[in-house]
């Protein structure tokens, strides 16, 4: 096994990977950009090296610098996490050329699955069902509009090199198409350096169901069940659960077989995810394969009892999978809530800034993966995800109740977050019934009723008044005159300290 591994990522996933490394007795090497100097991943790592300024293209995407750090620090392998370099075939190739193990698939598999139009062709050959759509990238908005009209609205415009909802637009009307097409191209170009987009039919009321696959370099491939990732906003997942509550056992069997076939079609090695749309008739269509670890992998870990990062490392080290498909059993139900620095009440506008205080939940079967801490800054330069909150329960209702309890314990102050929105979603009837589709979030907003007053309305105001009164008392006691500026939390002690120093100075003289 490796003795030292470089983690080419940031945020919570870098910390999560390093935790497994430490458990396995492997030293971790972090790379970081200048503004991430004070981030948790740098604090957690055994070694850490700065690779450039804030812009990802000059730091987290600098293959040459990252490989140089790996060589100089003596790391034998690089774990790319997700995003950044995780799905870039040239990076996998560059690692191989430098004699460093890339913890992920071989370059050809990334390339084959990374270009969505190419992936569609491959999957068609492997007998995997597909959503109707344009076969290749379309450059002109007018040509694309013709295609869109043929397959009838609504349609989805997607970046060929995309992921994470970037460069993706749903269009319902022909008159909105050209503007959306141009916006998607621009977003794709800025996010992936590749402005190619294609158009596909938008399947109505679908669920987004994905299968986790794991393949070793000896030809063995298993799936570790599915995840339902239908709760999305702006085409990005915010809540995931496993298993999918509406998936019939026979459909699960068929989808699992198709997922393995899809992975084997590209001789896949490592952990990967096959994403499908599942419609109301239990028909499913291949969406794409993510050739990396997923954000939501912890819910699979919860129901399977496996550590996917540990297995990735073993596979990368040439070991055989220690189990067969029949050995794998799913147990109970897991839910993940992604906690974002954003304002759900203003169209999920990002809300980066200083995190004044962070107190994570605890207790039975609660897992919090984060990359920040009290008085850390949620940077404007990167994704607004603060943490992933994951719970396990004996069944779905148990897991929902536990997640609500965990969310209620979370304290994140200073920036806007979606914690209250998560609580609202978990109380929603559609979600509780499990029958929601990928249109869930807009449907929830549309069906919102007037908020009923709660006891907290009164007590919260009382708390603000009492807190203010206590602050004013401290200022009075410490000799602050009524004309002094307002005392406030942490800075108050500094003011007192300053006054104390002044007094001391006077006495000494």
Partner 1 sequence: MANYYTPGTEEDRQWSVETLEDGRYQAVGPGGKSFIVDAFSPVAGRVHMLVDGKSWDMDAREIDGEIHVQWRGLTKNIKVLNDREKRMAVAGIGGSKAAGPELLSPMAGKVVAIKAQIGDEVKEGQVVLIIEAMKMENDLKAHRAGRIESVNVSAGEAVEVGTVLITIAE
- Which residues between 126 and 165 bind partner 1 (CB under 8 A)? 165
Assign 123 to helix, strand or coil. Answer: helix
Residue count, binding to partner 1 (CB under 8 A)? 60
- Which residues between 47 and 106 bind partner 1 (CB under 8 A)? none
Least distance (Å) between residue 159 CB and partner 1: 12
Least distance (Å) between residue 465 CB and partner 1: 5
Structure tokens at 479: 């000799």
In the residue annotation, 292 being an active-site residue is answered as yes
Among 103-111, 220-228, 386-394, 463-471, which window interacts with partner 1 (CB under 8 A)? 463-471
Asked if 336 contacts 385 with a C-beta cutoff of 8 angstroms, the reply is no
Sequence-distant (≥ 6) Cβ neighbours of residue 111 within 8 angstroms:
89, 118
CA distance 30 to 41: 7
Pairing mode of beta strands 284-290, 270-278: antiparallel
Least distance (Å) between residue 411 CB and partner 1: 5
For partner 1, the closer of residues 4 and 499 by Cβ is: 499
Residues 181-200, one symbol each (x = binds partner 1 by CB under 8 A, - = not), give --x--xx--xx---------
Asked if 482 contacts 461 with a C-beta cutoff of 8 angstroms, the reply is no
Location of structure tokens 């774990």: 79
For partner 1, the closer of residues 118 and 499 by Cβ is: 499
Q: Does 382 bind partner 1 (CB under 8 A)?
A: yes
Query: DSSP states of 196-221 as a string?
Result: -EEEEE--SS-EEEEEEEEE-TTS-E
Identify the residue among 376, 407, 425, 444 touching partner 1 (CB under 8 A).
407
CA distance 314 to 136: 37
Least distance (Å) between residue 27 CB and partner 1: 31
For partner 1, the closer of residues 195 and 256 by Cβ is: 195
DSSP-assigned letter for residue 319: P
Assign 403 to helix, strand or coil. Answer: helix
Least distance (Å) between residue 384 CB and partner 1: 5
Half-sphere exposure (CA, 13 Å, Cβ side) for 497? Answer: 5
Among 5-13, 20-28, 148-156, 351-359, which window interacts with partner 1 (CB under 8 A)? 351-359
For residues 397, 401, 404, 410, the Cα torsion angle rounded to the nearest 10 degrees is: -130
Identify the residue among 72, 139, 493, 502 touching partner 1 (CB under 8 A).
493
Which of 62, 292, 338, 367 is catalytic? The answer is 292
Asked if 41 contacts 51 with a C-beta cutoff of 8 angstroms, the reply is no
Least distance (Å) between residue 490 CB and partner 1: 6
Among 97-105, 216-224, 307-315, 402-410, which window interacts with partner 1 (CB under 8 A)? 402-410
Best CA proximity match to 147, nearest among 195, 183, 182, 199: 199
Residues 198-237, one symbol each (x = binds partner 1 by CB under 8 A, - = not), give ------------------------------------x---
- Which residues between 417 and 446 bind partner 1 (CB under 8 A)? 419-420, 422-423
CA distance 89 to 87: 6
Asked if 364 contacts 413 with a C-beta cutoff of 8 angstroms, the reply is no
Among 116-124, 294-302, 318-326, 478-486, which window interacts with partner 1 (CB under 8 A)? 478-486
Half-sphere exposure (CA, 13 Å, Cβ side) for 344? Answer: 19
- Could you list the active site residues? 292
Task: Enumerate binding residues for partner 1 (CB under 8 A).
Answer: 165-166, 183, 186-187, 190-191, 234, 346-347, 349-352, 356-357, 359, 380-384, 407-414, 419-420, 422-423, 454, 456-473, 482-483, 486, 488-490, 493
């Amino acid at each position: 096994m490796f003795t030292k591994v470089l983690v080419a990522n940031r945020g919570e996933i870098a910390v999560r990977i390093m935790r497994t490394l430490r458990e396995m007795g492997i030293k971790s090497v972090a790379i970081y950009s200048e503004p991430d100097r004070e981030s948790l991943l740098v604090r957690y790592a055994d070694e850490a090296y700065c690779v450039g300024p804030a812009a990802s293209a000059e730091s987290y995407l600098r293959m040459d610098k990252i490989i140089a750090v790996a060589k100089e620090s003596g790391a034998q392998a690089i774990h790319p996490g997700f995003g950044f370099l995780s799905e870039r075939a040239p990076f996998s190739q560059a690692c191989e050329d430098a004699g460093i193990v890339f913890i992920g698939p071989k370059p050809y598999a990334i390339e084959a699955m990374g270009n969505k139009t190419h992936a569609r062709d491959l999957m068609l050959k492997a007998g995997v069902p597909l959503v109707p759509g344009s076969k290749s990238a379309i450059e002109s908005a007018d040509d694309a509009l013709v295609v869109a009209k043929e397959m009838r609205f609504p349609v989805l415009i997607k970046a060929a090199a995309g992921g994470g909802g970037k460069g993706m637009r749903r269009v319902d009307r022909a008159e909105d198409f050209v503007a959306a097409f141009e916006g998607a191209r621009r977003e794709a170009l800025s996010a992936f350096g590749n402005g190619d987009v294609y158009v596909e039919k938008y399947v109505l009321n679908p669920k987004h169901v994905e299968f986790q696959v794991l393949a070793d370099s000896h030809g063995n491939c298993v799936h570790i069940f599915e995840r339902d990732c239908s709760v999305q906003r702006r085409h990005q997942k915010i809540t995931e659960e496993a298993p999918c509550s509406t998936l019939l056992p026979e459909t699960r069997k068929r989808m699992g077989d198709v997922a393995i076939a899809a992975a084997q079609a590209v001789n896949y090695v490592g952990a990967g995810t096959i994403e499908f749309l599942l419609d109301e008739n239990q028909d499913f269509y291949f969406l794409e394969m993510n050739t990396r670890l997923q954000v939501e992998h912890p819910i699979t870990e919860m129901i399977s009892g496996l550590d996917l990062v540990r297995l990735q490392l073993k596979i990368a080290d040439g070991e055989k999978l220690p189990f067969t498909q029949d050995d794998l059993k799913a147990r109970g139900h897991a839910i993940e809530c992604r906690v974002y620095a954003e304002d759900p009440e203003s169209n999920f506008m990002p809300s980066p800034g200083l995190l004044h205080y962070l107190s994570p939940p605890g207790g039975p079967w609660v897992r919090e993966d984060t990359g920040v801490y009290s008085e850390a800054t949620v940077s404007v330069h990167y994704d607004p995800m603060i943490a992933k909150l994951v719970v396990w329960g004996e069944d779905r209702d148990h897991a929902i109740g536990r997640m609500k309890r965990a969310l209620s314990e979370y304290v994140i102050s200073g920036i806007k977050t979606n914690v209250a929105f998560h609580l609202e979603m978990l109380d929603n009837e559609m979600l509780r019934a499990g029958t929601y589709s990928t249109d869930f979030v807009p449907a929830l907003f549309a069906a919102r009723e007037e908020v009923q007053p709660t006891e907290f309305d009164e007590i919260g105001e009382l708390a603000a008044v009492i807190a203010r009164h206590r602050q004013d008392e401290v200022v009075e006691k410490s000799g602050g005159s009524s004309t002094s500026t307002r005392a406030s939390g942490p800075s108050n002690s500094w003011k007192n300290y300053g006054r104390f120093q002044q007094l001391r100075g006077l006495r000494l003289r």
